[in-house]
Amino acid sequence: MAAIKAYRRYAPGTQPPYLHPPYVSSAKRAPSRPPIYLPHTLSEITGPVLGAEFCDLKASDLTRQHSGEPLGERIIVSGRVMDEDGCPLRDTLIEIWQANSAGRYLHNNDQHNAPLDPNFTGCGHTLTDSEGRYRFVTIRPGQYPWTNSHNAWRAAHIHLSVFGPAFATRLVTQMFFPGDPLIPFDPIFNCTADEAARNRLISKLDWDTTIPLEALGYRFDIVLSGRESTPIETPSHSHKAQT
């Protein structure tokens, strides 16, 4: 018998509810029934392996994708991807997307009356290294208004998508910037009940990665679900007669 080690469930309050009325778009898209508890099987503890062949190493620098340099404050966003036990998660794909320095996305549905930047697409990706580290060079995204409610503005943020080792560890989140005065008013940031969990979405100014005369560093560590310590027994190839 091979043992399946399930992934841990999220700690109560540390994840957003599906329905969060201040985020108006959740009203018609949040399921009305509670999700059914699914014990993890082979389908959940495995997941897409998207390694180097899915990755362009140059894609981690969002300031070098065009003939000229994008406008705005150049920044370094870096950190580590770990599990809840602090073990680094290597070779994990991270995809990011963001608005330009004027707060405008390169997307047909972004109607914000702010200029596009011909030298900024706002997308990047990278793989974590053997110690779970990642690093992007980009520009600080602008804040922008949205139609959620009267005079609603989003705090500056960068979207991140992380796969991790399993279907169960998938994460899509947003990284915020320290001291942004819009954070207390941002209903997406504030959707999570646990204040400490929420505040971990705010990156930290990081002198260690700041390049003098070039770019400020912001550190953002990402934690994916860890493993349960007790294995669930499950059949392996030694029992293939049962198939």
Residues in region 72-111 near another protein by CB under 8 A: 82-86, 95-97, 105-107, 109-110
For residue 184, the minimal CB distance to another protein (Å) is 16
If one asks whether residue 123 binds another protein (CB under 8 A), the answer comes out as yes
* 135 binding another protein? (CB under 8 A): no
Pick between residue 66 and residue 239 the one whose CB is nearest to another protein.
239
Catalytic residue among 20, 80, 104, 157: 157
The least distance separating another protein from the CB of residue 212, rounded to whole angstroms, comes to 30
Only segment of 69-77, 126-134, 156-164, 207-215 that touches another protein (CB under 8 A): 156-164
Among 21, 30, 149, 231, binds another protein (CB under 8 A): 30
The CA R_g of the chain, rounded to the nearest whole Å, is: 20
Note whether 218 binds another protein by CB under 8 A. Answer: no
Strands 152-154 and 171-176: unpaired
Say which residues have a Cβ less than 8 Å from residue 74's Cβ, sequence separation at least 6.
63, 137, 138, 139, 214, 215, 216
Strands (E), 61-219: 74-83, 93-98, 123-127, 133-139, 144-146, 152-154, 157-162, 171-176, 204-205, 216-219
Question: Quick check: is 105 catalytic?
Answer: yes
Cα gap 212→223, rounded to integer Å: 29
Residues labelled catalytic: 105, 144, 154, 157, 159
